[in-house]
Amino acid sequence: MKTFAFDFIVLGSGVAGLRAAAELADYGQTAIITKAAIGESSSEYAQGGVAVVMSDDDDIYLHYEDTIKAGDGLCDKNAVFTLVDEGPRYINELIAQGANFDMHEGTLDFTREAAHSVNRIIHAKGDATGHEIVRSLKNSVSKKESIKRFENVFAVDIIQENGMVSGIFAIEESSQEKVVFSAKAVILATGGAGQMFKRTTNPPVATGDGIAISFRAGACQKDLEFYQFHPTALTMKNTPAFLLSESMRGEGGVLKNIHGKRFCHNYHKLAELAPRDVVSRAIFSEMQKTDSEFVYLDLTGLEKDFVKNRFPKIYNTCLDFGLDITKEYIPVSPAAHYYMGGVETDLWGRTSIEGLYAAGETACTGVHGANRLASNSLLEGVVFGGRSAKAAIVDSKHKTLQKNNVDYKDEIDLSDKYEVYLQEIQETMWENVGVVRNFDGLAKAVSYFNEKLEMISDKKPANQKTGEIINMFYVGKLMALAAASREGSRGAHFREDFPEKSKEDFHIIFKDGKFSPINR
């Protein structure tokens, strides 16, 4: 069994993880551990942009109010203020380090997305914002000699000594060798869990690993019922659910049913620019009414060269699929996109376990509440990735590395049935814990995951594929239990058997590694 010792460990290498690692590297030996290649994450594929107050026509209080309103009563106001207040400084820092955002007449080019009151979205290369930020951060990290990168290494569990985090137990995928990493602090930045669903905009790495391993370690989880479904993902046979950015509607694209009629104005006064949960349910409802598998996103009213220049990646990708979006309607439907819930943290990324931190989509900072405002996620990753690192640095000053002992004898190997279990999980979640939910469906999902977790018992995964499936069993049960516990509709969580919004504002918490939801 291999062993390594570092001052700090960062799990994951999206925007939050890379930003954290860049901060940590100046204060100690830092390991970035990622189960794929460095940078492979949902961040890499983020198209729309970054919501940030850097225009003379905007101010942080407007951004604050827009975020609070989208969160439907469940945002942590202090977290939201921290995000909008510190966001400009972090983005200016990225620019100084070489991130190239699109300009217009010598200044940043701002656009608008759903539920924003003003144009405040900056973007890069039209629709490749996440890629540009990841590129810039990867470049910064590569210059830090105190950072060691471990690619294709899968974190199995968090190691604790005397109630404090002391490291990570992992599997090296190429050799299947077990590895123990010791550290004074661990930052979880493993992203979301979109692969839980049959339709998702997320890459294959998004299997909820950070939530699962922190839950098993006893860390508090919060708001796990709130999964955002992006309204517009490409819906064509034999093609992935390719994300079609919110900005396409912000720039004037409209939604039409299969009969060519606009419908969003029937559901919300902001029509296509209503909050994402509203637009997703409007599309879902329209699909049911017309007995169709999609609606249309129509950009044909926009100038052709503008569309090609503003959305080059989307234009070329759709063209590869045989669709010219400047001439043809685009078939779209909702897809799992972003997890508002996650590992509960304070404003500095601290979890309920000493020495364990979380940032980015893995974390629940309270910024998003019941529904994330468009383009707030990349900003959250940068801001709270930096803040979690700062906290870890301060908290670890007087800590010493612990000697870790790991017992890893009882293994299970599900890799030969990986595709079977993945399909079962995705269909179970899509049908029962998707855009529209009810008690019977949620109970069915809980029953499925109960059965699978009983099969696993306390066995450890023999490899990464098995570990991912086990983690998805955990996250699936947690999400379904949380959704069943919230008997009312709020933000991205819609219960057709409880369609009204609950009068009380509360959060659903899981603590101490128990599948027992608590209202708080």
- Residues serving a catalytic function are 276
Query: Collapsing DSSP states into helix, strand and coil, what is residue 402?
Result: coil
Distance CA 22, CA 97 (A): 12
Q: How far is CA 304 from CA 122, 300, 325, 327, 346, in A?
A: 22, 8, 9, 8, 46
Query: In 3D, which of 302, 296, 365, 356 has the Cα closest to residue 332?
Result: 296
3-state secondary structure 154-211: EEEEEEEECCEEEEEEEEECCCCEEEEEECCEEEECCCCCHHHCCCECCCCCCCCHHH
C-alpha 142/C-alpha 123 separation (Å) is 24
* Locus of tokens 């460990």: 9
Q: Name the phi and psi angles at 277, rounded to 5.
A: -65, -40
**Helices 377-395 and 77-96: angle between axes, nearest 10 degrees:** 90
Task: State the Cα–Cα distance between residues 5 and 3, nearest whole angstrom.
Answer: 7
Bridge partner residues of 298 (DSSP): 254
| Listed residue (23, 6, 9) closest to 137, CA to CA | 23
User: What letter would DSSP give residue 513?
Assistant: T
Closest CA to 213 of 195, 182, 180, 190: 190
Token pair in block for residue 383: 């801001």
For 460, other C-beta atoms within 10 Å of its C-beta total: 20
